[in-house]
């Protein structure tokens, strides 16, 4: 259940709840990366509602902010947010994995609002650098946000990007790590440990804030302070919970990719609203 932490953020909280409903409904008939989408919801809703200068009227205007979704698996959270904020017709979410649309497991630019395709990890930090460099060269004050997964940080190109962004003092660029502590079906710290993560980023020359990625108050405080250090790459580590909002899949390694049956979907929607806990019968990924 999502608890309402503060009435000041009621609208964001309501939107995030609706986005979570969309994600649950997309987790069938072929399925999607439900857990990794649920961890990123509050972050993405906050960014589009309160931080980024991106709306349905300026998607092709060079004088806008940019968001790059590098981890890619969380694209249902982005589509759900687009649907709630009027960038995408809600009906189209029903086209997930169908031939009549372009909504599938990874982002692509046939959906207006997606800046670049992704899914191959560790690509968009560098693409974001290019855009941020041009904004600087062109004298624009717009900003670039790139959302990375924590598992994605295994890829060496993420660290090359940190070096280059720091070298070029790209303080119009913000890397946000959705730190849900899982990669595929392992805990990050059990496979390729990342901590102390903030220290690593700082050693690469970045200014770093670490927050609760499900607290709108903390998101507001951190993003509101951007750039929190000028002349440096800015990084926000958002600690999140994979599967946030659904206790029956939350932090379960075997519920990374979910393809639920119709009955489970109905039960999970009730579970999201705190009414009961679902007994899942669909197959899990086998994890050892």
Partner 1 sequence: MSYEELLTQTALANEQVIVMTAENRALVRNLPGILGKRFIDTGITEQTMIGAAAGLALRGRTPVVHALAAFLTMRAFEFVRTDVGIANLPVKLSSFIPGFLSDGNGPTHQAIEDISIMRGIPNVTVFAPADEDDLVKMLPQIWESKSPAYTRINTRKTSYVHEPFTPGKAEVISEGSDVTILTYGLLFEQALIAVEMLKSEGLSVGLINMRSLKPVDEQAILKASAQSKLVVTLEDHFLIGGLYTIVAEVLLKHRTTANVLPMALNEKWFRPTLLPSVLEHEGFTGKQIAEKILGYQTAHNQPQILTPEFSE
Q: How near is the Cβ of 114 to partner 1 at its closest, in Å? A: 11
Task: Choose between 105 and 226: whose C-beta lies nearer to partner 1.
Answer: 105
The smaller minimum CB distance to partner 1, of residues 36 and 45, is found at 36
CB 88 within 8 A of CB 48: no
In the bound complex, what is the minimum distance in angstroms from residue 188's beta carbon to partner 1? Answer: 9
Nearer to partner 1, 50 or 154 (CB): 154
What is the biggest distance separating any 2 CA atoms in the chain, rounded to whole angstroms? 56
Q: For residues 32 and 173, which CB has a smaller minimum distance to partner 1 in the complex?
A: 32
Q: Decide the pairing of beta strands 144-149 and 182-183.
A: unpaired
Distance of CA 121 to the CA centre of its chain: 14
What DSSP letter does each residue of 55-116 carry, written as one string?
A: -TTSTT-SSS-EEEE-S-TTHHHHHHHHHHTTSS-GGGGGGTT-TTS---SS--TTSTT--S
Judged by beta carbon, residue 159 or residue 228, the one nearer partner 1 is 159
Residues found near partner 1 in the complex (CB under 8 A): 30-31, 72, 97-99, 102, 104-106, 108, 117-121, 151-152, 154-156, 183-186, 191-192, 256-257, 259, 285-288
Name the residue nearer to partner 1 (CB basis): 3 or 288. 288
Please report how close the Cβ of residue 178 comes to partner 1 at its closest, in angstroms.
Answer: 15
Residue 30, both tokens:
């072929």
- Is the torsion defined by CA of 130, 136, 140, 141 positive or negative? positive
Instruction: List Cβ neighbours of 12 (8 Å cut-off, separation of 6 or more).
Output: 42, 45, 46, 49, 50, 216
Least distance (Å) from partner 1 to the CB of residue 47? 22
Task: Compute the least distance from the CB of residue 117 to partner 1, in Å.
Answer: 6
Q: CB of 72: closest distance to partner 1 in angstroms? A: 7
| Residues in Cβ contact with 10 at an 8 Å cutoff, skipping those fewer than 6 apart | 4
């Amino acid at each position: 259940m999502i608890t309402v932490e503060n009435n000041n953020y009621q609208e964001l909280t309501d939107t995030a709840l609706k986005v979570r409903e969309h994600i649950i409904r997309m987790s069938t008939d072929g399925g999607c990366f439900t857990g990794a989408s649920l961890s990123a919801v509050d972050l993405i809703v906050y960014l589009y509602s309160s931080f980024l200068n991106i709306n349905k009227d300026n998607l092709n205007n060079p004088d806008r902010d940019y968001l790059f979704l590098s981890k890619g698996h969380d694209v249902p959270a982005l589509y759900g947010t687009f649907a709630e904020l009027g960038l995408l017709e809600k009906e189209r979410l029903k086209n997930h994995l169908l031939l009549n649309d372009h909504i599938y497991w990874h982002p692509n630019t046939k959906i207006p609002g997606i800046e670049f395709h992704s899914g191959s990890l560790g690509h968009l930090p560098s693409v974001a650098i290019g855009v941020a460099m041009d904004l600087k060269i062109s004298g624009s004050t717009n900003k670039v946000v790139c959302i990375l997964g924590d598992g994605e940080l295994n890829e060496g190109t993420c660290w090359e990007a940190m070096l280059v962004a720091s070298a070029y003092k790209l303080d119009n660029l913000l890397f946000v790590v959705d730190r849900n502590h899982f990669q595929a079906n392992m805990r990050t710290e059990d496979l390729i440990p990342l901590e102390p993560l903030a220290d690593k980023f700082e050693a690469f020359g970045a200014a770093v804030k670490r927050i609760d990625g499900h607290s709108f108050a903390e998101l507001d405080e951190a993003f509101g302070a951007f750039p929190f250090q000028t002349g440096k790459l800015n990084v926000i580590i958002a600690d999140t919970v994979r599967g946030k909002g659904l206790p029956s899949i939350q932090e379960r390694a075997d519920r990374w990719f979910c393809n639920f049956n119709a009955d489970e979907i109905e039960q999970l929607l009730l579970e999201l609203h705190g009414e009961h806990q679902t007994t899942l019968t669909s197959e899990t990924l086998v994890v050892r």
